[in-house]
């Protein structure tokens, strides 16, 4: 737990526009990773009108990679993939992006070809 003095110091730094130690490097790391993801998606998708949606898909995968692991990660990735497939994106490209981000298919693999539109992910 922070002391009141430390809280006041951090607040003063923010008010004066100064950067808290460590904050800049975390931000720079996030920006570098975002650029890597965008370049990877551009290489896989090419010049597609839906490129921005593939990038959003990849960023959603990155977000769940930070929060989950194991079967939960696999299931969450499959749910996100189904969402974007249902919105009209190419399933092969979605799989390529998922593979490039080192998210293997989990035990609970979602076979999109079996869905008829009335299924729910409950």
Q: Phi then psi for 58, rounded to 5 degrees?
A: -65, -40
Indicate the DSSP class of residue 50.
T
pTM score > 0.95 for this model? no
Alpha carbon distance 81, 99 (integer Å): 12
pLDDT digits (tens, 9 = 90+) for 2-54: 678 877 777 777 666 666 666 667 778 888 889 999 999 999 998 888 899 99
Q: By the 8 A CB rule, do 46 and 62 touch?
A: no
Residue 5 has which token pair?
Answer: 């003095």
Query: Mutual orientation of helices 23-45 and 91-100 as an angle, nearest 10°?
Result: 140
Q: Could you give the count of Cα atoms lying within 13 Å of 18 in the half-sphere of its Cβ? A: 8
pLDDT at position 29, please?
A: 83
How far is C-alpha 1 from the chain's CA centre?
31
Q: Which two tokens stand for residue 37?
A: 């993801």
Q: 42 CB contacts (<8 Å, ≥6 apart)?
A: 51
- Report the share of the chain in percent with pLDDT over 70: 74
In which element (H, E) is residue 47 found? Answer: none
């Amino acid at each position: 737990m922070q002391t009141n003095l430390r809280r006041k110091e951090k607040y003063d730094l923010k008010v004066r526009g100064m950067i808290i130690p460590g904050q800049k490097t975390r931000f720079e790391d996030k920006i570098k990773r975002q650029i890597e993801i965008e370049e990877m998606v551009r290489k896989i998708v090419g010049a597609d009108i839906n490129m921005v949606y593939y990038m959003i898909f990849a960023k959603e995968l990155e977000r769940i990679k930070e929060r989950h692991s194991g079967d939960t990660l696999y299931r969450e990735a499959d749910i996100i993939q189904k969402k974007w497939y249902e919105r009209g994106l190419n399933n092969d490209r979605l799989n390529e992006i998922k593979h490039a981000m080192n998210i293997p298919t989990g035990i609970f693999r979602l076979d999109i070809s079996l869905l008829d539109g009335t299924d729910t992910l409950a």
